[in-house]
A and B are shown apart, each in its own frame.
Chain A
């Protein structure tokens, strides 16, 4: 489904969740995983030479949270088309609406199910 050249950026301050997401993705598809520990770190990685095909971000992070990251990516002309999935413990409907209103393409509440994550990514990249 994804070519070996697809690059996914995981933005998450918890090493456990980073590994969980990364593990879920590697188990199913041959994609290159790039990791960032907060929003600012993610922006640095997005400014690098490697094109990112998908961003998976947490909301609650130190330095720069996920909502700020989503909003900054959507305001940047060269990054605004990258699909973004929010993966967070904030599962209330108003949190979901806020995340999607800021420009995220999908919203997944933790704890994640690998199959749900893969399905969401597949649907997103198929329509991108």
Chain B
């Protein structure tokens, strides 16, 4: 074989090898893009999984809150459940549950927590329409301090959040939240859902329990009266 033909052979081999390398590089690039797309898809699945987990958690909170609120007709027990939801599911450290007296049109504390953090929370008395809490009762719209002023500190008159307890358009009370637990920096998405649930379900649960205790009392009075009549005959 001459030097010339050997060079041609080498060139031919070199060209084949270059083509093969180029093909490998193209394949490599295609696989790299595919891997990138798969990684993107995995990230997307992970995000969706986290979102679904969060959603499940939120639904569990809402289910439990709703279930517990309607699990009893005892007024005190209903109030306890509302407190448990505010403290354990929302994570409030200082709060007040105020109910409206229809006769006097005054909102008064019936249950609270965090008297040491917000002195006076145990004896709030506000006229409907007066101040932040009174306005919430009058308008029937939830109030958030952060929407008013991001840097404002809560006070007895200006809570972090004030949620009206409504039966249709009638407001029977207000939940005022003053301070969250140390591990809870701010309200989360599920808290707003819980507020909406409390606004409607806590109101009907409290109202039903009140009606039930009133009817129980009336029934007892009538029964006593009937007993008196039958024994005197």
Contact = CB atoms under 8 A, between A and B. Distances in A.
| Closest A-B pairs by Cβ, 7 of them | A91-B183, A16-B84, A109-B183, A111-B91, A14-B84, A115-B53, A114-B57
Interface string B77-92: 0000100110111110
Interface in B83-122: 84-85, 87-91, 93
Contacts of B182: 91-92
Contacts of B85: 16
A122 interface: no
B51 to A, nearest CB: 11
B57 A89 contact: no
Q: Among A109, A111, A113, A115, find the residue whose CB has the most chain B CB atoms closer than 10 A.
A: A111
Contacts of B57: 24, 113-115
Nearest to A96: B183
B88 A23 contact: no
A65 B54 CA distance: 31
A19 B182 CA distance: 24
Interface of B: 53-54, 56-57, 60-61, 63-65, 67-68, 71, 81, 84-85, 87-91, 93, 181-184
Nearest to A12: B88
A80 interface: no
Interface string A5-18: 00000000011110
Interface residues of A, number: 18
Nearest to B56: A114
A114 B59 CA distance: 11
B184 A111 contact: yes
Most A-side CB within 10 Å, residue of B57, B63, B89, B91: B57
Given A15-B81, A89-B88, A115-B53, A20 B181 contact: no
A68 interface: no
A20 B90 CA distance: 13
Interface in A89-107: 89, 91-92
B183 A20 contact: no
B63 A17 contact: no
A111 B89 contact: yes
A16 B65 CA distance: 7
Contacts of B65: 16
A27 interface: yes
Interface in A1-50: 14-17, 19-20, 23-24, 27
Nearest to A19: B64
A23 B68 CA distance: 13
B67 A19 contact: yes
23 contacts: A14-B84, A15-B81, A15-B84, A16-B64, A16-B65, A16-B68, A16-B81, A16-B85, A20-B61, A23-B60, A27-B56, A89-B87, A89-B88, A89-B93, A89-B181, A91-B182, A91-B183, A110-B88, A111-B89, A111-B90, A111-B184, A114-B53, A114-B57
Contacts of A91: 181-184
